Amino acid sequence: MTTGIILVLSGILIGAGFALVWRDIRRSRRQAFLSEHDTARVAEADVEITVARPERISRAGLGAKSIASAIGASLFGRKLGDTAEGARVLDEAAQQAVVADWAALQEALEAGVDNINGLLQQAQISIGQAGESAWSYKNHGYGIYRRILIGEESVAWLRLELAPDRILHARVKAHKDDRAEINAAAQAEAKGLNAKRASDLLADCLKPLAAYVAKTQGPVVLTDAASAKAWQAIDGVVSAALTATNGALSQAGARLVPLDAPAWHAEVNGHRLPLAIEVYGKDVARMHIDHRGAEVEVAVGVPDALFINLGRRRRIAVAGLATHPLAEVIADCAWPVISRSRDSRRSA
């Protein structure tokens, strides 16, 4: 009797076990369901609902993937789940080649940083010391981080890294979201990199920051010595631009003549270079080239109020300052008064 009862109970338990297993199998295949109330609403709306079958992902696996993706996306806005580049795996020889190429770029990069720091000194913007070189997340590139400072405040990270395809990347990422407007990125071929190209790369990344400082910080009062040092950083570019401009204007019988050495001017809060505009040897107007914080200003004034419309005033960013763009600004400001003087001479 007892044996029979035990066998019956065992059969019931075995059947219940199969029922549970079958229920779990069906549950894993089940689509999303609609209640009777929802079914009625769908029927009235005459719409079709398509429900995708969910993936079976373990919580542990999903958590690990999310955390890893979040780490990669936390800097410079990489998208979560973006594994196209991340899937690239470099062998040891390829990694060593990238590291060797990165080391070869350091002299040019350091010279570029020094140049930019000199150009932006008057705006109190500076690039800090380099951290240790290391691979970025998923070996996207090998490089370093530097702090970007306004005065003594660290406001952003600058990431410089060499990618396996030998493209040099520069990225600025603000520490705070309310300064996101200073975020920027630029890239350049690593092959043949020199100090000038490194400076241009950094300048492209720092232009939004320079604009932000000009907009939010207000004028920075400098000492004569600090202003002199800031002018020294652009003096070579200004001299080259004047030489290029005079070469072009000589065909029109005009030239720009420095009247004095660059000197501190309180109203400019920086150094000023005064020049005379001569047409066929006659002094017809004055030009000033001023270093004003994050910008260089070129201004032309005329002695006769009747010709005030010939005056010009233009500015160009110090970040990325180069000979040809500055020469174009200088010539553009000088040409109206030169053209007027030439016309007057012909009619006389």
pLDDT, tens digit, 9 for 90 and up, residues 173-225? 999 999 999 999 999 999 999 988 998 899 889 989 988 887 776 655 556 77
Collect contacts of 277-284 with beta carbons under 8 A, ≥24 apart. Answer: 277/334, 277/337, 277/338, 278/254, 279/252, 279/253, 279/254, 279/338, 279/341, 279/342, 279/345, 280/253, 280/254, 280/341, 280/345, 282/341, 284/337, 284/338, 284/341
Residue 3 predicted with pLDDT over 80: no
Q: What's the mean pLDDT in 299-313?
A: 79
159 assigned to some structural domain: yes
Q: Crossing angle, helix 224-249 and helix 92-119, to 10 degrees?
A: 100
Q: Where a domain ends, among 169, 184, 216?
A: 216
pLDDT band of 62, cuts 50, 70, 90: very low
Q: What's the mean pLDDT in 311-335?
A: 90
**Tens digit of each residue's pLDDT (9 = 90 or more) over 45-61:** 444 333 444 444 333 33
Q: How many domains does the structure of the chain reveal? A: 2
**Tens digit of each residue's pLDDT (9 = 90 or more) over 15-43:** 545 455 445 545 544 444 343 444 444 44
286 plus 209 within the same structural domain: no
208 plus 243 within the same structural domain: no
What is residue 293's predicted lDDT score, i.e. its pLDDT? 79
163 plus 275 within the same structural domain: no
Q: What is the mean pLDDT of the chain?
A: 77
Q: Where a domain ends, among 157, 192, 216?
A: 216
Q: Minimum mean pLDDT among 127-131, 298-302, 307-311: which range?
A: 307-311
* Closest by Cα among 157, 167, 169, 159 to 209: 157
In whole angstroms, give the CA distance from residue 55 to residue 204: 44
15 assigned to some structural domain: no
Backbone angles phi, psi at 142, to 5 degrees: -115, 125
343 plus 230 within the same structural domain: yes
**Tens digit of each residue's pLDDT (9 = 90 or more) over 224-252:** 777 888 898 899 999 999 999 999 999 99
What is residue 276's predicted lDDT score, i.e. its pLDDT? 95
Q: Hey, what amino acid is at 65?
A: K
Q: Where a domain ends, among 156, 184, 216?
A: 216
Residues 6+ apart with CB under 8 A from 119: 203, 233, 234, 318, 319, 321
55 assigned to some structural domain: no
238 plus 280 within the same structural domain: yes
Whether 241 contacts 326, CB under 8 Å: yes
What is residue 285's predicted lDDT score, i.e. its pLDDT? 92
What is residue 42's predicted lDDT score, i.e. its pLDDT? 40
What is residue 115's predicted lDDT score, i.e. its pLDDT? 80
202 plus 299 within the same structural domain: no
**Tens digit of each residue's pLDDT (9 = 90 or more) over 259-292:** 999 998 887 788 999 999 999 999 999 999 999 8
251 assigned to some structural domain: yes
Per the structure, the complete domain to which residue 306 belongs is given by 224-347
pLDDT band of 320, cuts 50, 70, 90: confident
36 assigned to some structural domain: no
What is residue 133's predicted lDDT score, i.e. its pLDDT? 94
What is residue 11's predicted lDDT score, i.e. its pLDDT? 54
Return the higher-pLDDT residue of 321 and 71.
321
What is the dihedral angle through the alpha carbons of 74, 77, 82, 87, rounded to the nearest 10 degrees?
-70
Residues 6+ apart with CB under 8 A from 107: none
240 plus 341 within the same structural domain: yes
Burial class of 161 by CB neighbour count within 10 A (0 to 12, 13 to 18, 19+) = buried
**Tens digit of each residue's pLDDT (9 = 90 or more) over 86-96:** 434 578 888 99
Neighbours of 73 (CB within 10 A): 15
In whole angstroms, give the CA distance from residue 174 to residue 110: 22
**Rounded to whole angstroms, what are the CA distances from 173 to 154, 159, 176, 191?**
11, 8, 9, 25
Residue 327 predicted with pLDDT over 80: yes
Percent of the chain with pLDDT over 90: 45
In whole angstroms, give the CA distance from residue 262 to residue 257: 13
